Every structure is written in structure tokens, then in C-alpha cells.
A and B are shown apart, each in its own frame.
Chain A
Amino acid sequence: MSQVALNYLNATKGLKSWFCTLDHKRIGIMYLICIAVAFGLGGFFALALRLELISPKEILFTAKQYNQLFTLHGAVMVFLFIVPSIPASLGNFLLPLQLGAKDVAFPRLNLTSWYVYVFGALFCVYSMVAGAVDTGWTFYTPYSIDSATSVISMTLGAFILGFSSILTGVNFIVTIHKMRAPGLTWFRLPLMVWALYATSIIQVLATPVLAITLLLLVLERTMGIGIFNPALGGDPVLFQHFFWFYSHPAVYIMILPAMGIMSELVTTFCRKDIFGYKMIAFSSLAIAIISFLVWGHHLFVSGQSDYAAMIFSLLTYLVAIPSAVKVFNWVATMYRGSIQIKAPFLYFLGFMFLFCIGGFTGVMLGALSLDVHLHDTYFVVAHFHYVMMGGTVMAFIGGLHYWWPKMFGRMYNETLALIAWAFVMLGFNMVFFTQFILGSKGMPRRYYSYLDQFQPLHAFSTVGSWVLAVGFILMAFYLIDSLLNGKKAPSNPWGAMTLEWQTQSPPITENFLETPVVTHGPYDFGMEKQS
């Protein structure tokens, strides 16, 4: 396709054309910027935490400041970064393109949800400057009822961010149902779309429970309604049930779209049709549904009834199976492919390695008796960082590199990308693998100071955090550089089959010159032989 000068980036000019845009691609870019800022902020908090933990004694922060730092790290990373990361930025950009649609079903709602996100983020920022919250991102009662820090503003921030998430979910579900191009049947959808669909289901069904929980917490602090306050006859365990009814499925809001990206990457860079399309598609839905039934595994040591513990542990193992199936299917897809090792594919490999470790340690944590020992130790911290960062963040970065030419019409420096990847992988494992050993040896999480014997591992972990930081700084450098100096990207630099590559890079405002008509599956590389 010949290069057309006009595209969605330069179609209209001026700040107003961005802040009032209804174009899903521009909204996706605006999300991307916000999310990058949130990641930087959360990463900064993480570096500060690790620095303090290099010594068992107080060196930089007081206990209270430390508690505020880990709370802000958690809250920013969860609510501002990782939950919206892939769906709201890449998802928003890609979904209509992959469906062959002109836009999402409700463009105005889409823009609204971005404003809601920014509004919620402002509350969170306000909470940081006005007596930063120190409850942990989980806001457990009754501590969060008594804490003298600015709990209400952070809670309201998360509450508002929840609505942004719900609105995005509603929009995506309707878009996938109603906006598909002619011929694009359900089983011709790219697996990224299936993943986004499963994610949206969770966003719509789980987030309202978080909303009501946080609202009740605000009412608890302002009026003392007593539902969660044991001093007034309420029950803090009910809060935990409510909180994890959202927050466990939320883990899958984070990981499902990452898995979608994985399927796109492995097919494109192996020039192979995906192995087990239906298995992967249905496993996304299965994960979405079962993910609602496992929240109680966060309460195993809270004195949970044996019956509940049994049910939750069993269901936890059931949700592990579809995840494992996906991993095997991706490896099988590589078999006899034509494998091109480019930056996005490196992140695919990184994901496979780290996510598997996260998954296996998840099996350990799901075992009722083992969880008693490992619960609330650094083992858990390491486990969820392997899943969330090793899984979701790796996939997010992989996806970002993959679609970067499509989004901005520019290529980045492949060599620097390789070096940054090496730093990220090395640093990540240095930071978090040590924490498995720390945790199973008995080091509890959220500790400001610790026993001297834990120091060597903690110090090693801290040094790892610097390596990791170098990787990310390098990445930021070459990505920004590519916007200014990168060479122009062709419309389909990787030779992919899905619809977003059938239009120019960057796409025009309404995506396609003519509505595409789909006649084959998303990864039908077998067709290339005939053409």
C-alpha cells in the first residue's frame, strides 16, 4: 500500500483536537502516556523501597514513610498502571482495527472513561501530597478505618478509576459483539480480541464490587456505619471477602490481555497458525469465569472455615490448568515455524520464562498447608511480581514494541532493544528470585526493618533493582528517540496477518479506506504459499 500522508496523528492539529477527540486511536495514545507516567512513578517508589531495604537499619526513611511508600507503590502500580495498561492503551488502539471497524461502539463513552481515569488519578495524586496513605493497597479494615493518613482520597481515587475500567469494559463487549467486519466470525477473531473480551467480562462483573467496598470504607471512616468495624460490631473479614471478590479477578484483568498479546507475537514471528486456536480462546473465557471463584485463597490463614478453604483451594487449581494449556500451545506453535527473533519476540520468550516460574510458585501457594507458611511473606511478593511484572509487564512491553510501528509509523533501534531486554531480564530475576528464598526462609512482607541474617539477600535484590532500572531507562530513551529519528515504518513490517496490518502505518482516522471483508482466520499463514 502506498504511503498516504494523512493519518490519525496529523489529521487535525492542536491540543483541543486531542482533548476532544473521539478517535479510539488517539484515546489509546493518551492512555499510553498516562500509563507510562504512572509506571515511572510507581517504579520510582519501588526503587526507593529497595534502597531502604539494603540495610536492616533505618537509613533513608522512617517506618511511617516506608509504609506510605509501599502503599503508594502498590496503589499506583495496580490501579493506575497495570489494570488499565493493556486494555485501555493497546486495547483501545487495536480493538477496532483488529475488528475492521471504524471505531469502538461508543466513542464518547470512550473519551469519558479517559477523563474519569484522569479525574481518579488526580485524587490519588492528591492523596500522595496530602498525608500519603499508609494502609497497603489492600486497605484492610480495621487498620484503614483508624489510620490517620489520607485514606479517603486514595479510596475515592480507586473508586473513580474503577468506573473508568467498567466503562471501558462495557464499550469493548459491545464493540466485539456488534462492530465486527463482514465475514469476521467469532472463530476468525484474533486471540487478542478474545483476551480483551474475557478481560472486559471481568471488568464489568468484578469492579462494581470493589466500588461498593471502597464506598462502604469511605462511609465507615466518615460516619462509622460499622459494617467492617469490629469495634462497632462489624466484621473485618467481610471486607476481605468483598475486596478479593474484585481483586483476585483483577489479577486476570491484568494477565488475560497479556496472554492475548502472546498469541499475536508467537504467530507473527513464527509465521505459523496458532496451535489450538479454540483451546486458547475458550481457556481465556474459562479463566475469566473461574477467576471469580477463587478469591478465598487470600484468606486461608484468616481463620477461614475448613469447607471454604477446601473449595477455594480446589478451584484455584482448576484455574491453573487453562493457563498451563496456553503455555504449551504457544511452545507447540513454534514447532517447524519460521522464527524471526526481533524485540517483541524476545519479550515473548521473557514472558514464557518468567510467567512459568510465577505459575509454578502459584501452585505452591495454592496448596493449603504450604500457604500457611508462605502467606504474607516475600515468597508471595516474588510470586505476584513474577506473574504481574514478569507476565503482564513483559507482554505489555512486547506488545508495545510489536505495534509501535503501527501506532507511530516509526521503527526503533533493534540493537538497543536487545540490550535493554537483557538488562530487564537480568535485573528482574536478581530482584525477585532472591525474594522467593527470603520468603520461604520466613521474611514477612511489608517489613521496614528485618533480622540481620536476611541482609545479604535483601542487598542483592536491591542491586538487581538498579539493573532493572537501567533497562527501563534505556528503553524509554530509544523509544522516544524513534519518534524523532526513527526510520519510517512500512504498513506491515513483521508480515502479520491480522487486520490492523492491512491498513497504513499510522492508520487514517477511520482506520480503513474501505471496510474490509474477512474470508479467512487471523493466522492463516498457510495461504502465503499460494499467493
Chain B
Amino acid sequence: MKNDNHASHHVIVPVKTYVAVFVALLILTFLTVFVAQFDFGSFNLLVALIVAMVKASLVVMIFMGLKWNKSFDRFAFFACLIFLFIFFLLVFVDIPLRSYRGVEESQHINLKSPVKLIAPGEAPVHH
């Protein structure tokens, strides 16, 4: 069997790189919280997801070492992401296109004690 992965086995990443990624992840966390203050309408989700994906890529490529790992591992991981995407896609081609009848579920919920609700931090917003 081929032995070309022996090198990847011994990749030693400089501390500098790890620290840089760590700092970048912190900044991106701050960014995602920061942009959540603004309302981009239906783009809110998109923005949050893009930031999350950048963070995830950093973790996968550097911390988990896929950048240096040229073997089948890398293919397996990305192929799986495609499968996950298809799963999402096909479920969303069906269920949201069906019409949905609201159900009187309020009758089924066990309303026990009248708890006054205080949201941590801020007051609930009603629309």
C-alpha cells in the first residue's frame, strides 16, 4: 500500500497558526453577536450562517488538520456535507410546499401554574 501519508502524520503546526485561528474565531464570535443587533430582514439567517460556516471551516481545516490531511478523510467529510445538503433540500421540496392546517394544540398543553415569565436580560417582544 502506498505510504505517502506518512508525512501528514508528522505535520507540526506552528503555535503562531493556532493562536491566529483562535483569535480569528473570537473575532468572528463577536462579529456574529454584533451583526445580530441589526435587522437584515430575511438575510439575518444567511448572515449568521455565513459567519458560522467561516468559523467551522477554520476549525475543520486548521484545528482538525484537514488542510494537511490529503487522504480519503477529507473526501469522506466533504462528501458527507453534500449528503446532508441533499437531505435538507429534498425535505424542503416536500413539506413546506404542502399546506398546513393549524391545530388547536393549546387545548392539549397542560397549563399548570400561572408562572410569570421574565426573560433573562430583556423583555419579551410581542409582534
Direct A–B contact in the complex, CB atoms closer than 8 angstroms: yes
Q: Show the binding face of A for B, using Cβ within 8 Å.
A: 177-178, 180, 182, 205, 209, 226, 230-233, 235, 237-238, 241, 245, 292-293, 295-296, 299, 303-305, 307-308, 311-312
What is the CA–CA distance of A245 and B87 in the complex, to the nearest angstrom? 8
Contact between B97 and A308, CB atoms less than 8 A apart: yes
What is the CA–CA distance of A178 and B5 in the complex, to the nearest angstrom? 12
Contact of A182 (CB < 8 Å), options: B1, B80, B91: B1
**Is chain A's binding surface mostly helix, strand, loop or mixed?**
helix
A230-B103, A237-B98 known; A293-B93 Cβ under 8 A: no
Residue B39 lies at the interface, judged by CB distance under 8 Å to chain A = no
For B1, the chain A residues whose CB sits under 8 A away are 178, 180, 182
Contact between B91 and A231, CB atoms less than 8 A apart: no
Contact between A304 and B94, CB atoms less than 8 A apart: yes
A180-B1, A182-B1, A232-B105 known; A296-B94 Cβ under 8 A: yes
Contact between A232 and B109, CB atoms less than 8 A apart: yes
Contact of B94 (CB < 8 Å), options: A231, A293, A308: A308
Residue B7 lies at the interface, judged by CB distance under 8 Å to chain A = no
For A312, the chain B residues whose CB sits under 8 A away are 90
For B90, the chain A residues whose CB sits under 8 A away are 293, 295-296, 308, 311-312
Contact between A305 and B97, CB atoms less than 8 A apart: yes
**Is chain B's binding surface mostly helix, strand, loop or mixed?**
helix
Contact between A307 and B93, CB atoms less than 8 A apart: yes
User: Of residues 69 to 105 in B, which have CB atoms within 8 Å of A's CB atoms?
Assistant: 72, 80, 83, 86-87, 90-91, 93-95, 97-98, 100, 103, 105
Residue B108 lies at the interface, judged by CB distance under 8 Å to chain A = yes
12 extra interchain contacts, Cβ-Cβ under 8 A, other than A237-B94, A308-B93, A308-B97?
A: A177-B72, A180-B1, A182-B1, A226-B105, A235-B100, A241-B95, A245-B87, A292-B86, A299-B94, A305-B93, A305-B94, A307-B93
Q: Show the binding face of B for A, using Cβ within 8 Å.
A: 1, 72, 80, 83, 86-87, 90-91, 93-95, 97-98, 100, 103, 105, 108-109
**How many whole Å from B123's CB to the nearest CB in chain A?**
25
Name the CB-closest residue of B to A174: B72
What is the CA–CA distance of A178 and B91 in the complex, to the nearest angstrom? 36
What is the CA–CA distance of A241 and B97 in the complex, to the nearest angstrom? 14
Contact between A205 and B103, CB atoms less than 8 A apart: no
For A296, the chain B residues whose CB sits under 8 A away are 90, 94
Name the CB-closest residue of B to A305: B97
Name the CB-closest residue of B to A231: B108
User: Can you name 8 A-B pairs with beta carbons within 8 Å?
Assistant: A231-B108, A233-B103, A237-B95, A241-B95, A292-B83, A292-B87, A308-B97, A311-B90
Contact between B91 and A305, CB atoms less than 8 A apart: no
Name the CB-closest residue of A to B76: A173
